[in-house]
Amino acid sequence: MSSNRTVDSASEAPLGMGSLGRLVQGLVRRPHYRLVRRLYHRHETLAPLLLFFGGVTWDALTLQRIGALLDNVILGGYLLLLGGAIALTLLDRHGRPLPPSLRALSTWSVGAIQFLTGGLFSAYVIYYTRSASLTTASLFLLVLVGLLLANEWIWSRHQGGHLLIGLYFLAVFCYLTFLLPVVLGTMGFWVFLTSGILSIGVTTGLLLVLRRQGVFVRLRSFLGALCVIALLFGGLTTFYVQHWIPPVPLALEHIGVYHDADRAGDAFVLRQERASRAWFWTGDGDDPFHYAPTDTVHCFTAIYAPTAFQADVTHRWQRYVPSRDAWVDTDRIAYQVVGGRRSGYRGVTYKQHVSPGRWRVTVETEAGRPIGRTHFTVVAEDPARTPAFTTHRYP
């Protein structure tokens, strides 16, 4: 992926060799470095793809949970390095003079962008997948997956600087949407807006640095980049208002309906029929739910939240009404989730006097953003039938 570049003769002289410069110059002199560089240029059509999947694989092997300090530090480092790699790529593409040390690093800037964006967006997909239910909140997840798969095309040398700036804004915004709630211990629209404003500030700062160095010099080009940022911010805000963005950092660990859910010490004992089609580890509980007049339907959930995080959640019970072809609310029962438990904060809501038919329980935030959902069918119990039950302990 060679590029045409015009270099001022003055740029060939060493400019302020610091510790980075000495490190890079020492590396350039090593034969192993020259060998790797020759191999990279010989197979550079494959290198971006390998680097991209290298970033994805690294995340899959090392990522823990939202709120883990080391993960947040690593992803924050990725963002800093990504901003630097984008700056080097755009400066090189516009023929701006670079110190020898940075010129040596610019050789690897596109490959670094591939690795870093692969690592960042795969991390976002993993985090948001844990918080996304199979509802409209999955739409934003599909956008992230699309960006992940389009990574090689997006970051190629032939794409414009506006696209690079726009994708960097998305990378920063996605990072802050789960970092700020962890830091502040709460979530909501104002936290989301704060994440967006900070992302605009970071990306605009990068734009101003590039403009000072001779990139986006024309006012039309600079304003165009700002418009890209504004449009993306407006689009993400629309996604949030429409509940199309998963409610990170909350993640549903378990959900199911059971004949009984009682606390036993520090665990919960869940009772379900042996004949149920749903197994305990699938997280669905009793389905179908054979209901007798004296029975109570229990919905048990375990929701993970980072330490020191608190949020109100709601179990929204709904029954399907065929004559209206619609789901009708029957109950909304709220409780507070407190973070810190690895297996999730446990909560139980229950309902009596249910009618046969299709039912569902949706777990939502206070603002109505879906965290997860379970479906089940209520069937009238046959008095002649003697059901057999089994119990499980949820820690």
The pLDDT score that the predictor gives to residue 14 is 39
The pLDDT score that the predictor gives to residue 137 is 57
User: Using H for helix, E for strand and C for coil, what is the string for the chain?
Assistant: CCCCCCCCHHHHCCCCCCHHHHHHHHHHCCHHHHHHHHHHHHCCCCHHHHHHHHHHHHHHHHCCCCCCHHHHHHHHHHHHHHHHHHHHHHHHHCCCCCCHHHHHHHCCHHHHHHHHHHHHHHHHHHHHHHHCCCCCCHHHHHHHHHHHHCHHHHCCCCCCHHHHHHHHHHHHHHHHHHHHHHHHCCCCHHHHHHHHHHHHHHHHHHHHHHHHCCCCCCHHHHHHHHHHHHHHHHHHHHHHHCCCCCCCCCEEEEEEEECEEEEECCEEEEEEECCCCCCHHHCCECCCEEECCCCCEEEEEEEECCCCCEEEEEEEEEEEECCCCEEEEEEEEEEEEECCCCCCEEEEEEECCCCCEEEEEEEEECCCCEEEEEEEEEEECCCCCCCCEEEEEEC
Q: Which residues contact 71 (CB under 8 A, 6 or more apart)?
A: 62, 63, 64, 65, 123
- Tens of pLDDT, residue by residue, the chain (395 residues): 333 333 333 333 333 445 545 555 555 556 655 555 565 555 555 555 565 566 566 666 667 677 778 888 989 999 999 999 898 888 887 777 766 666 666 666 777 887 788 788 888 877 877 776 555 556 677 777 777 666 555 555 445 688 889 989 999 999 999 899 989 988 999 999 999 999 999 999 999 999 998 899 899 999 999 999 999 999 999 989 988 888 888 888 889 999 999 999 889 999 998 766 554 444 567 888 999 988 999 999 999 888 888 899 999 999 999 999 999 999 999 999 988 888 889 999 999 999 999 999 999 998 888 888 899 999 999 888 888 888 989 98
Question: Per DSSP, what are the bridge partners of residue 316?
Answer: 332, 362
Most distant CA atoms of the chain, gap in Å = 95
- Closest listed residue to residue 363, CA positions, set 320, 300, 306: 300
Cα–Cα dist 157/360, whole Å: 49
Sign of CA dihedral 121, 127, 129, 131: negative
What are the CA-CA distances from residue 225 to residues 147, 167, 196, 219, 367 (Å)? Answer: 19, 11, 16, 10, 33
Q: Model's pTM, two decimal places? A: 0.77
Q: Which residues contact 321 (CB under 8 A, 6 or more apart)?
A: 327, 328
Contact between residue 88 and residue 150 where contact means Cβ atoms under 8 Å apart: no
Helices 47-62/109-131 angle, 10° precision: 40
User: In order of start, what are the domains of the chain with their CATH numbers?
Assistant: 17-241 (no CATH), 251-394 (2.60.40.1930)
